[in-house]
A and B are shown apart, each in its own frame.
Chain A
Amino acid sequence: MNRLKNSPLALTVLAAVLALVFAVAVTAVVLSASGFDPLSTFQAMLDFGTKPDSVANTLNRASTYYLAAIAVAIGFRMNLFNIGVDGQYRLAAMLAAAAGGAIALPPVLHQAMIIIVAMLVGGLWAGIAGVLKVTRGVSEVISTIMLNFIATGVIAVLLQKGRLGHQVAGSDNIGTKTIAPSGRVAGIPYPGANLQVFGLIFLAVAVGVVFHVVVNRTRFGFDLRATGLSATAASAGGVNARRMVVTAMLLSGAAAGLIGMPQLLGASYTYGLDFPTGLGFTGIGIALLGRNHPVGIAFAALLWSFLDQSSQILQFNDIPKEIVAITQAAVLLSVVVVYEIVRRLGLRWQQQTVAAELAERGPAGTKEVAA
């Protein structure tokens, strides 16, 4: 039986590796065509990407990517496409930053308050799409995209002087009031690096563990997965589909609310005009690459982040760093295709194995014949 269980996983890993090899090959072709030597370029990226500062930066970036991908994966697990993670985390980070700057609490409480505000805001913003879907039948794809734009507008309105915006000391940037030290999360020194690793990287790890346990071990997770695998079978099995949609959107949004936290509490301490954007969209790609699995997503987030980081060196060699976007896109495209092939092969392979085992076991009566 272990044969049956393990082989698809091995196949999946193999598929991901193959997709990566394919993507590197595509990149090499593009590099050669543009007149650069692929091998030395890759070597330069590898050298730069493994420097201590780069590693610290890769880990930091990966932790936000990871949270973004988990937020997307919660939706994906029940066939909800939450494209609005981007708007959810930006709005959540902005309001949480404002709350954290306005109210000073003792340490621990202060950080907890900021994080809870972020989760609430993200959850409620995504919840709008969930409620629209179950009450008015609006596709969450459409409503979350629109909510992204609305979030951008809301942030622009609120982040003005006299409202939530303040002049950031020593720059032209406008941001929320800086969070006092009692609300910050200290970094972790990385050997040999000037940069520190975000303390909230552990939040990302914790979210991954909770995601895994809830999805695989709880009744709620079972309902969520069942709805994603077959909405009709789930409803016939007593799952309240409407409630599941709203709950899943709330949870996805709450996880999205966490995306900005490592950066906000570990480095920026304010939500300004320079706060990172677009992480929600990156999260969609990483969730796909990681197959919505907490461990898969971790590898995907690290890979993505490593590519981002190591591409910084390219500019010094007069190579456009956008070349890495080609690698990322090629990985994603090939992996989506390959995963589907693996899924079908795995299913067919299992059917054949089952038929063969039954044929071995009972020679006459038990033989299953394809018809």
Chain B
Amino acid sequence: MSTTERPAHESDPHAPAIELRGITKRFPGVVANRDIDLTVAAGTVHAIVGENGAGKSTLMKTLYGMHRPDEGTVRLAGEEVVLHSPADAIARGVGMVHQHFMLADNLTVLENIVLGAERLHGIGGKARRRITGLAERFGMRLDPDRLVEELGVGDRQRVEILKVLYRGARLLILDEPTAVLVPQEVEELFGNLRDLKREGLTVLFISHKLDEVLAIADQITVIRRGTTVADGVDPAGVTARELAQLMVGSELPVPELRESTVTDRPVLELAGLTVRAGGRPVVDGVDLVIRAGEILGIAGVEGNGQAELVEAIMGLRAPDAGTVRLDGTDVTDWPTRRRRESGVGFIPEDRHRHGLLLESPLWENRVLGHQTEKPNVKGPWIDRRGARADTERIVAEYDVRTPGIDVTAAALSGGNQQKLIVGREMSGNPKFLIAAHPTRGVDVGAQAAIWEYLRAARAEGLAVLLISADLDELIGMSDTLRVILRGRIVAEADPATVTPESLGSAMTGAAAGAGAPADAPAEPVPAPRPPAEDAAPKEDS
């Protein structure tokens, strides 16, 4: 099997690449997949769409041999198979590109690709020829000797794709591949996918971004609550909105603000805020004013100083220069607790690391971050009764789906964890709220609810700093937009007129003419876009 492809696919060239019939997967207490039917023709890009928690990942794990279905059959290239492990799947030419990259930063591209597959072509010249051959064939420009840590997100993803191609994959599963990309990088990825298709490979593309799905897929399967509600939909005959209705089974929420509630009273003022890490400024002279009743959105590719900016505002990291003023008071030297006590709410980007004590009950999580405030404490004592009663209130008001407040936070779904955090941070009438990716990884229902809470709080005069990778959310929910690039605020945008594409250009520095930024792909000029993507209206996604 040195240079030829794997033999598993020679059984029937005209059979569908994948044929799933009646796949059911139960976990104790839940049915994650129920009667899933799926047919994927060879040499096509097939998209699977469904909202978070619909069972897409469970299905992909079945296909990749990470667990076995309780019922149903899996046929690959016409042959019925039982996959016991990912190694089984790889041997049958199935490769998976995970949403979170699994690369060693301190190794080169070549080393990363060969790692774990040394037996195929060794680690020397033969492996190198094979990699450059693959890269050329599929139109991926990659220098095999560059360190992965020097690569941008788009290039890293290409390394992941090459990794599975190198292992002989003829069927690629891409799990939410565009979640980490800006629009221009998405375009490049789609170019790569078309090349794969041209070479006869099959791509299974999982996403919930419908305009992208419509732009790239040959066929679409919609999954809702664990089962297929539509198989083999032709993208030419369906609109994004129709797909979305299929996905959700009801009306779709839209991120939008109604009339402006912005006042002229500044709540948060940053002046020349600078944070250095290893001598390099990661937040560089940021000036911002957020007024009562205003939501200010920060757009930027992840890793351009957003996290450090948030930490400096929260008092988790001391700024090297500049001031933070809250309601006119200089709070630059205040510890986190004092800032929180004076009305700063915080919805952190990573709720598991910064927002919750996963192994503690819900009511103790209500106390977290507010352990000096009523109704959680009486003097030095924790007020159990008060905290518990208030947790009950949050659970009811914010529709946290839980059997009770004594279950641990880890037992809740992501959306319900997030609603608990939002409810907690909205308690005690904050003046200013940091909302970092407030709807990341939550289902559509929770998303709509969280947007509504933000709108309501804004109407009551809350000032909000919104950070999000979801450009539609950012544009729809902001009164004012700023673009951050390498720690600097480089552009302003009017949410009423800006498009995700132009915002994406500004985020990579292409529009500002700032040269190629460190985190963007080496060639920042976007490929010409097919008309399909521009045609998809943005508010439908």
Contact = CB atoms under 8 A, between A and B. Distances in A.
Given A1-B403, A240-B336, A352-B27, 6 more contacts: A217-B381, A226-B368, A233-B368, A236-B336, A238-B335, A370-B53
Interface stretch (B153-161, B265-273, B350-358): B350-358
Contact of A238 (B56, B225, B336): B336
A350 B30 contact: no
A21 interface: no
Given A217-B382, A368-B401, A369-B225, A347 B29 contact: no
Interface string B393-418: 00000000111101110111100000
11 contacts: A1-B407, A219-B380, A222-B371, A236-B346, A237-B370, A238-B337, A239-B371, A352-B27, A369-B54, A371-B32, A371-B58
Interface string A1-12: 100110000000
Given A350-B411, A359-B29, A5 B406 contact: yes
Contacts of A371: 32, 52-58
A232 interface: yes
Nearest to A343: B359
A230 B359 CA distance: 10
Interface in A270-311: none
Contacts of A361: 403
A357 to B, nearest CB: 4
A1 B370 CA distance: 25
A329 interface: no
Contact of B372 (A219, A350, A365, A367): A219
A194 interface: no
Interface of A: 1, 4-5, 216-223, 225-226, 229-230, 232-240, 347, 350-359, 361-362, 365-371
B368 A237 contact: yes
A371 to B, nearest CB: 5
A233 B354 contact: yes
B301 interface: no
B367 interface: yes
Contacts of B53: 368-371
A358 B415 CA distance: 14
A180 to B, nearest CB: 38
B371 A354 contact: no
Interface string B335-348: 11111110000101
Given A239-B337, A369-B53, A369-B226, A222 B407 contact: no
Contacts of A356: 28-30
Given A219-B381, A355-B30, A232 B404 contact: no
Given A219-B372, A219-B382, A233 B353 contact: yes
Interface of B: 27-32, 52-58, 225-226, 314, 316, 335-341, 346, 348, 353-360, 364, 367-372, 377, 380-382, 384, 401-404, 406-408, 410-413, 445
Contacts of B403: 1, 4, 353-354, 357-358, 361
A72 B338 CA distance: 31
For the complex of A and B, 4 pairs with smallest distance between CB atoms: A238-B337, A237-B369, A356-B29, A352-B29
Nearest to B27: A370
Given A371-B55, A371-B58, A1 B406 contact: yes
Nearest to B350: A232
B357 A229 contact: yes
A167 B340 CA distance: 60
Given A236-B354, A355-B29, A350 B408 contact: yes
Nearest to A2: B406
A233 B355 contact: yes
B359 A347 contact: yes
Given A238-B335, A358-B401, A367 B30 contact: yes
A222 B53 CA distance: 33
A238 B410 contact: no
Q: Max chain A CB contacts within 10 Å: which of B54, B368, B408, B445? A: B368
A366 B404 CA distance: 15
Nearest to A370: B32
A67 to B, nearest CB: 24
Nearest to B227: A369
Q: Max chain B CB contacts within 10 Å: which of A216, A222, A229, A235? A: A222
B111 to A, nearest CB: 31
A347 B258 CA distance: 42
A7 to B, nearest CB: 12
Contacts of A362: 401
B371 A350 contact: no
Contacts of B364: 222
B358 A230 contact: yes
Contacts of B336: 235-240
B337 A236 contact: no
A121 B316 CA distance: 33
B371 A367 contact: no
Contact of A366 (B54, B58, B382, B401): B401
A138 to B, nearest CB: 21
A189 B539 CA distance: 83
Q: Max chain B CB contacts within 10 Å: which of A1, A230, A239? A: A230
A353 B407 CA distance: 10
Contacts of B370: 237
Contacts of B401: 358, 362, 366, 368
A232 B382 contact: no
A369 B28 CA distance: 11
Nearest to A365: B445
B382 A238 contact: no
A1 B225 CA distance: 27
Contacts of A223: 371
B287 to A, nearest CB: 25
A226 B314 CA distance: 18
Nearest to B314: A236
A236 B348 contact: yes
Contacts of B339: 238
Contact of A369 (B32, B314, B412): B32
Given A217-B381, A236-B336, A369 B55 contact: yes
A347 B314 contact: no
B404 A4 contact: yes
A324 to B, nearest CB: 34
A369 B401 CA distance: 13
Given A219-B372, A354-B411, A368-B53, A240 B335 contact: yes
A350 B32 contact: no
Nearest to A348: B28
Contacts of A229: 357-360
Contacts of B340: 237-238
A223 B32 CA distance: 38
B30 A359 contact: yes
B410 A347 contact: yes
A238 B371 contact: yes
